[in-house]
Structure formats: structure tokens, C-alpha cells
Amino acid sequence: MINIKDFLIGLLSFLIFTSCGTDKSTQSKETAEETTQVKKVLFVLTSHDQLGDSGEKTGFWIEEFATPYYFLKDKGVEVTLASPKGGQPPFDPKSDAKDSQTPSTVRFKADEEAKAQMANTLKLSTVNAADYDAVFYPGGHGPLWDLATDENSIALIQDFYNSGKPVSAVCHAPAIFKNVKAKDGSPLVKGKKVTGFSNTEEAAIQLTEVVPFLVEDMLQENGGTYSKGADWSAYAVEDGLIITGQNPASSELVAEKLLKQLN
């Protein structure tokens, strides 16, 4: 004959055991979801399309956008695009020339979803650094005129950096650091290892007298420890949260270093 008291005690023990097991399973599932949370990177592109007084067009360099964009997206990173004016940012026509094509630019041209995203970039003034894990700036000459002095961009970079989030830029895009300050009021790049489009590379494309300032000179004037590789070769440096690349060939290196920091 079943002892009612023993039966009830056994039932209660079973319920407690299964309840605890469910809690642990749920907690493990939640922990796993937190561990695999999708990383979010903000790409900021120029809205400027005039190459000084030369009468030529400029903008962002397609390869410097496309290569990091696909490198990160293919690794599961969520990429959001923004620009000072919002909407479609201008691209440098020279970056669309036949001799400037790479696998990533070809992929972008055939990617309707990516082109639609590009046509609808967020307006920079509406962006909050708290919504992203890092920021990346593609180059092209455009940033020398707008992003170097854009108050929203300056504030955004400072927010990212002061929140312990990576700030990355390639080629002419390190121009973004021209007016960015550290908490003590000194230039953010002061005492930090940096690179960017070199004076010799600017001279080679005969735009030294056209651009408002030379990226290499500006970084050094702001106290940065500038270094470079051979002209047109892949070269990138990382100093804490600041990641910079020298030229178009360096865009994937910057993306690689950025991904390592995100992980």
C-alpha cells in the first residue's frame, strides 16, 4: 500500500528538481544569446561632392566603403550607414573607373539591397553612438571638406571614444580627427600611432595644392605619431581604440583590426 506521506514528499522533491533544472536551462540559453549578440557598426560617409575649386567631382571612394562593408557583414556584423546630409552620399567618379574595380566594388554594383541602403543613409545629426559598438569612416577626398569640421561627427567620435568603443578610418578619412578633442582638451590623436593618406601619395595624384590640408601634416600637427608604408601598399596601425589605414589598399586591414576589437 502506498504511503501518502512518502508519495507527497517524493512528488514535491521531483517538482523542485525539475523547476531548478528549467531555471538553469533558461539561464544558460539567455547567457548564450548574450554571448552571440550581433555587433553593430556605424559607417559614416561624406556628403561633399566638389574637389575644391578644380571643377571636378569627389565624394567617398567606393572600394574603401565596399571592402570593409562586406568584410564585416560576412562575419555577421550589422552595418548602418550615415552621412551629414543623409540620403545618397556622392562617390568619387574616379573610384568607379575600370582600373579602380575590385571584387568588393563589383559585388556592390550587383547588390540591390546594399545600393538601396546607400541611397537612404541616416542623417548624422539623428545618430546616437550608444546604439552602436564601433564607427568606421571610409575615405575619398570628400571628408577633408565636410567631416573634418562637422560638429555632429566630432561629437560622435568623442562619444564613441569616451565610451570605450573603436573609432576607425582609412585613407583620407583620418581627416575626421582634425578637430576632435580628448577629455583634457588636447587633440585626440596626440601621442597616438596613426596613419593616413601620405603627402607623397597626394603629390602623385597632383592634388597637393587642391586639398584644404594634407592628412599626414594634420595628424603630425595634432601630435600624432604618424607612420606609413610604401606608397599604395596596404598599411594600417592600431593604438588603443583608434584604428587608421593609409590608402585604399589598406581598407581590409582596418576592417580586420576593427573586427578583432569587436570580438
Q: In the predicted model, is pLDDT for residue 231 greater than 80?
A: yes
Instruction: Give alpha helix (H) positions in 100-246.
Output: 103-109, 112-119, 151-162, 199-204, 215-221
Q: Furthest-apart CA pair in the chain: how many Å?
A: 102
Q: How many CA atoms lie within 13 A of 221 on its CB side?
A: 10
pLDDT at 32: 45
Give the Cα-Cα-Cα angle 173, 177, 180 (nearest 5 degrees). 145
Over pLDDT 90: what percentage of the chain?
86
- Return d(Cα 133, Cα 79) in angstroms, integer: 10
Mean pLDDT rounded to a whole number for the chain = 91
- The confidence band for 5, taking pLDDT boundaries of 50, 70 and 90, is low
pLDDT at 10: 57
Q: What is the pTM of this model?
A: 0.87
pLDDT at 6: 58
- Return d(Cα 109, Cα 101) in angstroms, integer: 10
Q: Write out pLDDT tens, residues 144-197.
A: 999 999 999 999 999 999 999 999 999 999 999 999 999 999 999 999 999 999
Mean pLDDT of 7-34: 49
Note whether 50 and 144 are within 8 A (CB): no
Q: What is the DSSP string of 160-177?
A: HHHTT--EEEETTGGGGG
Q: Write out pLDDT tens, residues 78-134.
A: 999 999 999 999 999 999 999 999 999 999 999 999 999 999 999 999 999 999 999
pLDDT at 30: 47
